[in-house]
A and B are shown apart, each in its own frame.
Chain A
Amino acid sequence: MSVTSVVKDFDRLTLTLVADFDAPIARVWRLWADPRQLERWWGPPSHPATVEEHDLTPGGGVTYFMTGPAGEKSRGWWRVTSVNPPTSLEFTDGFADRDGIPVADMPTTMVQVQLTEHDGGTRMVVRAVFESREQMEELVRMGATDVFVQTVGQMDALLAGDANSAP
């Protein structure tokens, strides 16, 4: 298991996740810095991401879309606020409409990534903060489609592992 700890601060709307990888910092950095690598992990298997623009410089950004099972596309963007290869990256992640224009009333999250050497591998700390409580509540109300999709995958796993237990 790569995830070492998860801390949620409900007052500050912040998720802090620590993960340890058995790989050098430069390799882990490439997961972020190489768009072909990024698109292999950003979206869930049911909604793979395709990265279009990818410019990890301050003021630069990333544009991407995720393609769902029926071919539907949902677009997103990053705006890079700080970058220090290969150890740190900070960006805002948000939703875009079909033309790639950021959607104003959808939630944005500010994401900070820190990579440090740890036990011969790499420790990654991801801190994600909802930038507005109102937008966050909108997200909850929407029920976040991808969560449903992921949940169904989790259900499959649960059912497979728990098929014979009594209800």
Chain B
Amino acid sequence: MVVGKLVAGKVVPEGTDRAVDHLFHALADATRRDILRRSVRGELSVSRLAEAYPMSFAAVQKHVAVLERAGLVTKERRGREQLVRTDPDAVGRARQALDQLETTWRGRVDRMSGLLARDPDPGEGDPTRGRAR
């Protein structure tokens, strides 16, 4: 299985195809990806989230349920509200952070390679470049 680690350092155990299906399904929708971004601080309730989208409370609640099933968010009851939090699971936070950093830097190196290949010898350009402007 190529999907060893996938989302925000979230490790999907190898071979658990159903979990991967849930994850892909959950992330395949723009609204759900947006809910993930909004819920990183865990301060929003389902009803607050619902205000952000041109759809019913029930529809947003359903989206949150899909994310929850995929293990991407947790819900926490506070008073009458349920707060939604994007929840990288507890595989080890250092591992997750370094996985993220690795993804970031691999992307950067790929782009550097692409630039070097496309543009092997850029002109000197504006001599003031490289300094504050």
Q: How large is the interface on B (under 10, 10 to 19, 20 to 34, 35 or more residues)?
A: 35 or more
Contact with B along A71-103 (1 / 0, CB 8 A): 000000000000000000000000000000000
Nearest first, the 10 closest Cβ-Cβ pairs linking A and B are A41-B111, A143-B8, A2-B113, A10-B94, A8-B98, A142-B40, A23-B116, A143-B86, A19-B109, A140-B93
The chain A residues found within 8 Å of chain B, CB to CB, are 2-3, 6, 8, 10-11, 13-15, 17, 19, 21-23, 27-28, 30-31, 33-37, 40-42, 44, 53-56, 60, 107, 109, 124, 126, 128, 130, 133, 136-137, 139-148, 150-152, 154-155, 158-159, 162, 167
Expressed in whole angstroms, the Cα–Cα distance for A152 and B23 within the complex equals: 11
B120 touches A23 (CB 8 A): yes
Q: How far is the CA of A44 from the CA of B108 in the complex (A)?
A: 7
Q: How many A-B residue pairs have CB under 8 A?
A: 151
Query: With A33-B130, A34-B129, A151-B6 as given contacts, are A140 and B111 in contact (CB-CB < 8 Å)?
Result: no
Q: Is the CB of A55 within 8 A of B131?
A: yes
Main secondary structure of the interface of B (DSSP, over half): helix
B21 lies within 8 A of A167 (CB): yes
Q: How far is the CA of A54 from the CA of B131 in the complex (A)?
A: 5
Ordered by A's residue number, 12 sampled pairs between the chains whose C-beta atoms are within 8 Å are: A11-B94, A17-B102, A22-B116, A31-B115, A31-B116, A34-B130, A35-B129, A41-B114, A42-B108, A140-B88, A152-B33, A154-B6
